[in-house]
């Protein structure tokens, strides 16, 4: 079995960092949507394209993380069997 003592703090830190990023927007879902609409209204088209590109990159990274986690989950189930 792997070294849970090293992995667990890393996972907890990642969870806390992700939660902190989401909290930066503050408020509820409506507040976040309003914030997004304001950002779209005050940014230039070039900056908006840059943000759009970055959002696509983040989404791709999250998809890769999700795939990796599913693979880890399957491997863990196989190890239990």
Q: How many CA atoms lie within 13 A of 68 on its CB side?
A: 6
pLDDT in tens, 10-47: 878 877 776 666 567 677 878 767 776 776 676 667 77
How far is the first Cα of the chain from the last one, in angstroms, to the nearest whole number?
13
Between 81 and 67, residue with greater pLDDT: 67
Which pTM value belongs to this model?
A: 0.43
């Amino acid at each position: 079995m792997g070294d849970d003592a090293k992995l667990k703090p890393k996972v907890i830190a990642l969870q806390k960092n992700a939660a902190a990023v989401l909290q930066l927007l503050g408020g509820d879902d409506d507040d976040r949507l309003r914030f997004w609409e304001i950002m779209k209204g005050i940014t230039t088209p070039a900056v908006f394209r840059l943000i759009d590109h970055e959002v696509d990159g983040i989404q791709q990274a999250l998809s890769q993380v999700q795939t990796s986690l599913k693979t880890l989950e399957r491997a863990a189930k196989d190890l239990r069997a």
